Structure 1
Amino acid sequence: MLPHFHLFCMVTAGIDQGSYQFEKQSFWEHIKVYQDIFRSLFSSDIKVVLNGRLGYKDTDGLLQKIMQYGEKHSIKVTLSIKEPNKENRYYKGLQFSVII
């Protein structure tokens, strides 16, 4: 049997200074790593799908701020927001998928 997925993990820790500044910056730092990996190894662009989860007081606001941060800093990646699955309680906070 072959696994149906592979796991790669990055962790960033810090303190937010308000307006999700830490989350926005850290998210995009991680996405840039994924971009570099897939461009250099596979000559491929990536798409990112955000999935809002429970764990933030304003998850929708966080997702919008993440998108705005990427636009403001001219980060070239296709980014979309998936309709939330309110029944899924497995993930807390922010979940995203990288599609190549």
Structure 2
Amino acid sequence: MSRKEFEIVEGRSNVLGVSVPRTLIESTIGVPTFTKTEREAVIHELLAVRRLLASMSNNVNQIAKALNSDAVVPGGQIAATLAAAARAAERADAAARRIEP
């Protein structure tokens, strides 16, 4: 790589707030380039969805336990849990689409 090419890559890295090696790797494998702030926002969103899914998994287990013990579980609770799961899956899909090459 010539000095001029390096300076171009280095300038791009500085704008994005990432290292030169990260810029080179991501441009080589076709990963969309993100600023450090954008990357952190995507990571934050994926972690938030992960926590939400863990919480909903607990809710589903409680509903299953109640149903297996012949307890009455309001249909609204089941529907709300399933709707929340669908929304969380959409959030995960949206965040994943942001980082697809």
Same fold (TM over 0.5): no
Structure exhibiting the larger radius of gyration computed from Cα positions: 2
TM-score normalized by the length of structure 2: 0.29
Higher RCO (C-alpha 8 Å, min separation 6): 1
TM-score normalized by the length of structure 1: 0.29
Whichever structure has more helix as a proportion of its residues is 2
